[in-house]
Chains A and B, each alone.
Chain A
């Protein structure tokens, strides 16, 4: 490793900055292929209905209408990467039926020459629906047995976990509080709407899809499954993305599958682009939750027990409902050391737009409930809310019961103390309330969030580092940059590890055809997981290069440096070798 940092810790310009400020960075809707058709979805006006018949005969006669695809043929992807583990589970990912489950649920897709024709065509399609009772309230849906949103019923998932003995926990409590918290159905509202897809199914049977996805390789798997194609015939390219915040973890409901289906049917590239309105009504949202929490503590502020009951509103389809609840559990049990814990959660289908992943996953809901509960407890006990956290957080050396691993680093106490000091916590908490209608307050909250999915899901990271003959580098990674700059970060890590200047590192496009299998971008994982992969690849590349140089220069590896296309001896820079020629050069040589 070099003596001083060359990239990490330095303020560097992001590698895609110039492309973005000049308008040359291409996002999905900017991609135009020759002979491209446009596509649009006809969406259900009913919250819950059977689609009895679809009549496209009038629409088909319109000049410029090229193809249709209906939900009778093109499957919906209804489970996500949990299901990639086994072939049996993979088959459960796809649903072909005649039911629409929320207002806006796609019924069919049409491909036509231009936008006007699309609108006219959709207005001529006749759909016969049999309206079914719609369930909006997850509590009612849970109990309902006659109206089933999915064939297996309305309960998507149910789990109970217990640690210690909750009854003992409450018996040992001097004070018990019980509250109910409710969170809302939030939308990501990324500046680039969810979503746009350009699909091109070529005559050789190869499908190429341009779509902004956080998980390009998994999108490839889902598309291969949905269209029943082998993986080598599916290529997913992620163009620049205008923000995702969790909403592009795979495919967008009704977008890529329908678009690909139409391309296969017509043999032409097809672009489907959702409006902002479609984004809002028909793509994934945060899971709204009702969380009942009953917490016991001693008079001194030591938590003795916590009973958590969650009802999570999945919507008409769910892809993340298990992971989101797992997140609630891990944040509850991991963050605070509560010896007696009872956790139960039910994820329920309702006739609303699908719940999915949104920044924080299940943590914001759980944290809202948990931290509000802590504040209420602190108030009842007459203890400083900061002190209450410090008394109960799970410390270094403890075993996290969900991960079943020891906590090896934990800067929470230091963080809290620094935060309290710099915000004037003590003084402000002691201040008497100001008179008048405008009040000021100060509060705090702590949280725990996982980086990546750990053992819970397939979550691989991989990278390839190629050192070119002139000493410049190509870094190949499937890290999906949604704007957060992970491709820049990975270039920094490669630069630092290799000892080669940052501006000599180029990062590949995000293309499943050429990048090694990497889960992608979710749960803040790229800097850590992707970074470890890049560091490993860069280390190996550097070692190979230096092993060769060592022979030529007669100097051991840790005495060698790489800079400006040359490998040289640190103590004697004239003793060097050019990467391009592999020849030893001396200062007085021509």
Chain B
């Protein structure tokens, strides 16, 4: 078809150290590739030959795993999203949002290749897997020339398609601390056509930790309504310490909508997005409540 993907050199490092070394050597001219589903659609135009010079393949460095440790769950960055979607670890209340998000990401076929790390490092404001991880206060581990460093997920997203990773760093794994059973999480995604491959018009994740009807902790993460996916802190504070009545949920949802700063684009208007934030947050909070056994 004449869809040529220009790359100068493909590297398959034997281990992490080698991967980091290659990235350090080539800096801006190198890009990490795992599943490739966000990379390959990048095609150079003809006027300006944008070549991706070096691709560093990390898909076979043993970063495809989901492990339950004593006090946390560890997900390898190159874990394909279908594995996360099918993992029994995420089906229960505290981690349900991750399963929801994994199942809502693109299509089953793409999810066989697309990775959770790729979704995070692409750093789109509507990254589906970013939202549950935000409400779960996940910790990201990156490896660079100076060794590994921990990046709290809230500090990971810096701007549209711009993450906190340095050019020589590789995202290694995602740590989610164990949650009590009294926590329920949920994720919802609004697309223009609910059966299509489309990106979110609005997506949200919520987390509620409850004792009887009283909220002990809350997390509300919003996507596609700001340059980055983010926690709606003011909306969360409406919930913490409160009895989870319909009115409180409604108030928190409305506050979340206020915190949203969407723009008009081909998918939807800012006004519509704001309205939908309130609707989705309310529904997601209701789901979260059910999942924490309330």
Contacts and interface: CB of A to CB of B under 8 A. Distances in A.
A29 B1 CA distance: 7
Interface stretch (B44-52, B93-101, B143-151, B204-212): B44-52
B46 A122 contact: yes
A118 B2 contact: yes
A119 B1 contact: no
A49 to B, nearest CB: 15
A304 interface: no
Interface in B230-279: none
Contacts of A353: none
B13 to A, nearest CB: 25
A277 to B, nearest CB: 9
A275 B46 contact: no
A38 B1 CA distance: 10
A123 interface: yes
A193 B49 CA distance: 24
A118 B46 CA distance: 9
Contact of B6 (A29, A116, A273): A116
Nearest to A121: B46
A123 B46 CA distance: 6
A40 B1 CA distance: 10
B3 A119 contact: no
A127 B291 CA distance: 63
Contacts, number: 33
Contacts of B47: 45, 123
B167 to A, nearest CB: 26
A196 B49 CA distance: 24
Contact of A116 (B1, B3, B4, B48): B4
A179 interface: no
Contacts of A577: none
Interface string A37-66: 010101001000000000000000000000
Contact of A275 (B1, B48, B49): B1
Interface string B135-159: 0000000000000000000000000
Contacts of B46: 42, 119, 122-123
Contacts of B44: 119
Contact of B4 (A119, A193, A272): A119
Given A123-B47, A123-B49, A193 B1 contact: yes
Contacts of A118: 2, 4
B4 A115 contact: yes
A39 to B, nearest CB: 9
Contacts of B4: 115-116, 118-119
A122 B46 CA distance: 7
Contact of A38 (B2, B3, B6): B2
Nearest to B44: A119
A122 B48 CA distance: 10
A413 interface: no
Interface string B43-69: 010111100000000000000000000
A159 B276 CA distance: 48
B49 A120 contact: yes
Contacts of B2: 38, 40, 115, 118, 272-275
Interface hub of A118, A123, A196 (most chain B Cβ within 10 A): A123
4 cross-chain pairs, A with B, having the tightest CB-CB distances, nearest first: A115-B4, A122-B46, A273-B1, A273-B2
25 contacts: A29-B1, A38-B2, A40-B2, A42-B46, A115-B2, A115-B4, A116-B6, A118-B2, A118-B4, A119-B4, A119-B6, A119-B44, A119-B49, A120-B49, A122-B46, A123-B46, A123-B47, A123-B49, A193-B1, A196-B1, A272-B2, A273-B2, A274-B1, A274-B2, A275-B2
Interface of B: 1-4, 6, 44, 46-49
Given A40-B2, A119-B46, A120-B49, 12 more contacts: A29-B1, A38-B2, A45-B47, A115-B4, A116-B4, A118-B4, A193-B1, A273-B2, A274-B1, A275-B1, A275-B2, A275-B3
